[in-house]
Structure 1
C-alpha cells in the first residue's frame, strides 16, 4: 500500500525510468493537490507532439500503477497550461532532486510556507525567538533581552506573534499601559482597509526601560473583545484593489515596516508561535530576520522536531538560504550537572546540523558557498547559547515585577552567555554591564 511519504520517491523513480523522453516534454510540474494526489502539468504547445504524448502516456500509466490512490487515472493525469508561471501562483514549489527541468508544486490547505525564505530585511535587525515546543522559557528570554537592551540605552520594539497563546505583553507592560488594540486587531481590520483605525493605539511603552525604550505590540489589546472570532480571520490573505493576492505573511511584513518607520527602533524582537504552523512559518521564514533563535531542551521531542524542519528545507532546496540565520539556544540549563548537560546538547545539535544542513566537507573549511564547522567551534550555528534555569525567572506570570527589581548582575548570571551571543550578532552592547 502506497502512503504519502512514498509518493515523491516513486515519482522520482518513474521519471528516471523515462529519462530519455523528458527532454522532449520540456518544463514539467509535478502537481500535488490538496488531497495529496499527483498530476503532471505540461506546456500547452506540447499537446500536439506525438512523441511527447507517447512519453506522457507511459509515465502516467506507471504513476497510476505505483501510486495507487495518490495518482489520478492516467487519462486525467496531465494538465496543459499556456502559462506555466501562472500554475505556480500561490503554491509552494521546489526542484525535484535529480531533474533540472522538473519542479514539485505542493498545494497546501494553510498559509504555511516553510519552503519560501524571504530575503533578509534591509531595516534594523530582526531577531525571531522560536521553539518546536512551548514551556522552554522563550518568552522569558525575550523579555530579559528587551530589558537588557534598553538598559544599554537602545530602543527596542517587541512583537508578540504568539497569537494563539499570547502573554508576553503582561511580562513587559503593566495593565494600565497596555494599548487598546494589538496585532490580531490590525490583521483583521486591514482586511477591510481599516488598519489605520487601530495602528495609532496598538503599541505600549514599558516602565522597565531606564536609559532606553521598550515599545511592545501585544497580540491583543487591553480588552481582547471577540478574540477567538478575530483569530479565525487574522491570517486570511487579502485581495488588493488591483486584483493581486497578498498573503498574511506579506501583510504582517507591511505592518512591521510601518511600526519600524513609526518607532525607529535599534532592534526588533519577535516572539514566535511554537511548533510547525502558519504563524511560526511566517516568523521564521517570512520576515527576513537575519537571526532565528532555536530554543532547545535536551530531549527527543526537540531534536525530532527540528530534524523534520531541517529535512523539509533540505528537500525543498532552500537549506542554503536559511541555515546561516539559525542559532541553537540551550534553554533552562539545569543547575546540577550543567557541564554534562551542555556537552550532550552540543553533540546532538552538531549531529543534527551535520546530517541535515552542513556541507560534507572537512570541518572548518569554507569553499565558495559551502561550509561546515568543528564540534567545538563557538561561532557555529550548532554551538548553543546558554540560558541557565533560575527559580526567580521560571514563572512568566511574575516576570514584570521580577524585572522591576532585578539587577544587571543577576541577569548576567542567568542570561549572560546568551546575551553575549546577541552582542556579537548585533555588533552593539546589549548585555548588562
Structure 2
C-alpha cells in the first residue's frame, strides 16, 4: 500500500486486519478499540494486562499500521494501572459505543475473529447506514388489534413495509399507492407515510377526499420536539369508494408536508441522525399505532443513500420492497442495500431483514426484454448468493433465509416484474388509473406482501419455510 494512493476505506480495513493478528498473537492485550476521528485519522486504545510489554506492543502496532499512510499518525492510548480516572472514562465510553468487526476481509478471505476488538468511528451524517442494527419496533401481526391481550399491547402491531429504490423515477410510489388501495379494498385501514422528504410525492398521488392538511411528517418531527402533538392533525384520509371500494377500508396519509415557501426552511431544521438509541421515526410509528390503529403501515422512502433511507433500512421495518432496474447504476446501489440488509446483519448475529425485489421499468419491447430479463435474474442470483443467503447446511433450524429457500415463490430471489407503462407517464389523478393498480404485476406484488404475513386467504397456505 502506497502512502499517497491509499484511501480511507483500505486504510481502515488494513488496520482491522493488522490488529486482529496482533490480538491473536498477544494475549496480554485484554481488548482494543480502533477509533477514527471526523477527519478519518485512525487511533488505537489498548487495555493491557499485568506483565504486558507495553513498549514492544506499541512498536509492533506502529509498524503494522504504517501502511495506513496519512490516515495513521501513531496515536496509541493505553489503559493500565497508571491511567487517570478521567482518561479511563473516555476509553471505556469508546469501547461501549463501539461495534464488533466484520468477519470477512476485503479480499473475501476469512479473518480470525475476536470479541476483544471493537471499532468506534466518529461520523457526521448517515448514522443509520452504519452497522448498528436494530430490530423492528414490534412483532408484526395481521389483525393485531383484534383480541389482543393486555400483555401483548406493547409488543405486537401492524406490519411495517418500506418501499425503496436506489434511483428515482422507477414507479416506487405508484406501486406503494397500488398496495394501499388493494389493502383498503379488502376492508383494511392503511397508514401511508411519505419519507421521501426531498422529493415528496405520496401525499399528492394519494390525494384527500376533500381539503387536506397543510402539515405533514416534517412538521410532526419538528413540533414533537416542543411538546405533545396529535398525529391526527398531520394526516388526511381517503374513503372515496372509487379508490378504496365499499368494504369499509380507508387510507390515512401523512404527507411529507406542504411544499410551499416555508418547506425548505423546515427541512433545513430537521435532524434525521440517530443519537444513541433514539430513532427519529419511532415516535411516529408508536403514535400511529396508538391513535390511528392501522392494519398496515406503508412507508415511501427517499431514494439513494440518503439519511431518510438509512433510517428505514436499518431494521426498524418488517419488510423492505426494493425496486431495481436493468441499469448498472441501479444494480450497484441495490447490491449495497442487500448487503446491508443481509450479510452485514448476519455477521453481527442478526437475522437478515426481509426483502422483496422488484424488477422495475422493464420495457415492453421483445428484443429489449430478451436481453434485460436474464441479465437481471443473473445479477440478482449473484448478489443474493454473495450478500444475503446463508447455506442450508449452516442453518439446520431454518432461522434464516438460506440457499434451500431459493426458488420458493415467497423468497427474495423470486423478483416481481413491473414493466414500464406508457399511460402512467401522465395522469391527473390516481383515480384515473385505479383499475390498472388492481391487476397484473401490482396484484402480484400485493399478493407477495400478503404472503410475508400470512394475511389473506389468497396466500393459499404458502409461507416461509
TM-score (norm 1): 0.84
Contact 2:231–2:291 (CA<8 Å) still a contact in 1? no
Q: In 2, Cα distance between the equivalents of 1:258 and 1:317?
A: 31
Contact 2:346–2:352 (CA<8 Å) still a contact in 1? no
Aligned to 2:10: 6
Q: In 2, Cα distance between the equivalents of 1:284 and 1:430?
A: 29
Q: In 2, Cα distance between the equivalents of 1:424 and 1:315?
A: 25
- Structure 1 position 263 matched with structure 2 position 292: yes
Larger deviation, residues 256-265 vs 34-43: 34-43
Deviations 1:93-137 (A, max 9, x none): 332532311122222111432223221222110000011111110
Aligned to 1:108: 123
Aligned to 2:146: none
- Structure 1 position 147 matched with structure 2 position 181: yes
CA 1:269–1:393: 2 relative to 1, 3 Å: same
Q: In the TM superposition, what are the counterparts of 1:344-383 in structure 2 within 5 Å?
A: 344-360=375-391, 366-368=395-397, 369=399, 371-373=402-404, 376-383=407-414
Q: In 1, Cα distance between the equivalents of 2:274 and 2:134?
A: 19
Aligned to 1:242: none
Give the secondary structure class of the aligned counterpart of 2:168: coil
Contact 1:390–1:414 (CA<8 Å) still a contact in 2? no
Aligned to 2:428: 398
- Structure 1 position 23 matched with structure 2 position 27: yes
2:280 paired residue among 251, 254, 257 = 251
Aligned to 1:65: 66
Q: In the TM superposition, what are the counterparts of 1:121-140 in structure 2 within 5 Å?
A: 121-122=138-139, 123-140=157-174
Aligned to 2:264: 228
Higher RCO (CA < 8 A, seq sep 6+): 1
Q: In 2, Cα distance between the equivalents of 1:246 and 1:271?
A: 23
Contact 1:112–1:279 (CA<8 Å) still a contact in 2? no
Q: In 2, Cα distance between the equivalents of 1:182 and 1:410?
A: 25
The Cα shift of 1:389 comes to 2.5
Gaps of 5+ in 1: 240-244
Aligned to 1:199: 231
Gaps of 5+ in 2: 80-86, 104-111, 140-156, 459-465
Contact 2:127–2:274 (CA<8 Å) still a contact in 1? no
- Structure 1 position 416 matched with structure 2 position 430: no
The Cα shift of 1:140 comes to 0.5
1:213 paired residue among 250, 253, 270 = 250
Give the secondary structure class of the aligned counterpart of 1:329: strand
The Cα shift of 1:229 comes to 1.8
Structure in which a larger fraction of residues adopt helix: 1
The Cα shift of 1:224 comes to 3.9
Give the secondary structure class of the aligned counterpart of 1:424: helix
CA 1:339–1:227: 2 relative to 1, 3 Å: same
CA 1:42–1:393: 2 relative to 1, 3 Å: same
Superposition RMSD in Å: 2.9
The Cα shift of 1:146 comes to 0.7
Q: In 1, Cα distance between the equivalents of 2:17 and 2:395?
A: 34
CA 1:430–1:252: 2 relative to 1, 3 Å: farther
Larger deviation, residues 342-351 vs 209-218: 342-351
Deviations 1:226-245 (A, max 9, x none): 21121122225699xxxxx6
2:93 paired residue among 79, 86, 90 = 86
- Structure 1 position 335 matched with structure 2 position 335: no
Deviations 1:160-217 (A, max 9, x none): 00011111111111484321311101111223x2351x63310100233233110000
Q: In 1, Cα distance between the equivalents of 2:378 and 2:348?
A: 21
Deviations 1:309-348 (A, max 9, x none): 3445635755763534122111233223347643432221
Aligned to 1:301: 329
Deviations 1:392-432 (A, max 9, x none): 3344x6342424xx33x76312412212211212322498x
